[in-house]
Amino acid sequence: MIEKAEISIKFYVGILVLVVAWVFHTIGCWSPYWVITSTDEYGTVGYSGLFEKCANLGTVKNSCRYFDWEDVQVSHWFRTVQALVILAFFAMILAILLSILYARCGATNSLRIVTIVLCILAGVFIVSATITVSELKHVQKAIPFVQAETTLSWGFAFSLMGGLLSVIVARPLLPGTSCGLRYCPLHTDSPWLNSMNTEKKITAPPPPVVYNVGDLCGHGAKLDVSRREMPVG
């Protein structure tokens, strides 16, 4: 039976950081606080995220609604950004599930590599989305005042933090020196799974059988029967 491979502490820390990254991105992704619209005369007049915008002017306070195609803020690049953050959201969920599966049930390093690739892809998607929004934030005015200014808010920062953590966490999830890239023992006692990773072992021949024949021969000599030829007939 193959011995269970030890999972390093840094791998569990990596899973924890990945969960934290997902929480950051989830909060930031669905919040309407990516871009703040403000004027010198009225202060903050509105704010918007990737999926809804809110007005905060006059008698209308914190009135939010989802974007639609007729809104001036919506364009093809904006839809691309929405798609990227949604893909990153589900990629991080899948990466968390695969990393837990690897730690609890055991699997070959291919599963571990897939988890790392998902983390990196999620991070790249999120960082690309945040860079695009930061460059085109003037288009995301919740209320299209000419004199209004736009600034990035905490929802943007949360998603960016989640994306950066998702890329950084790929390092703790990498296989260590005790478990190579091509082979890693399974963490299970399943005979079927163990058969895929069992290595052939060379077993030494059993030691020769030695009998004490002192009582039979009248002295204390020992007889090694493994080297004697037994007469036939």
Q: What is the pLDDT of residues 115-142, one digit of tens each?
A: 999 999 999 999 999 999 998 888 777 6
Measured CA to CA, the distance from residue 128 to residue 133 in angstroms comes to 9
Q: What is the set of domains in the chain, with CATH numbers? A: 9-195 (1.20.140.150)
Measured CA to CA, the distance from residue 104 to residue 175 in angstroms comes to 16
Q: How many alpha carbons fall within 13 Å on the CB side of residue 214?
A: 5
pLDDT over 70 (residue 105): yes
Q: What is the pLDDT of residues 37-77, one digit of tens each?
A: 888 877 888 888 888 888 887 666 777 888 776 666 677 88
Tell me which amino acid residue 69 is: W
Question: What does the radius of gyration of the chain's CA atoms come to, in whole angstroms?
Answer: 33
Q: Which residue has the tokens 């840094």?
A: 10
Q: What is the pLDDT of residues 80-101, one digit of tens each?
A: 899 999 999 999 999 999 988 8
Measured CA to CA, the distance from residue 9 to residue 200 in angstroms comes to 30
CA–chain centroid gap for 1, Å, is 30
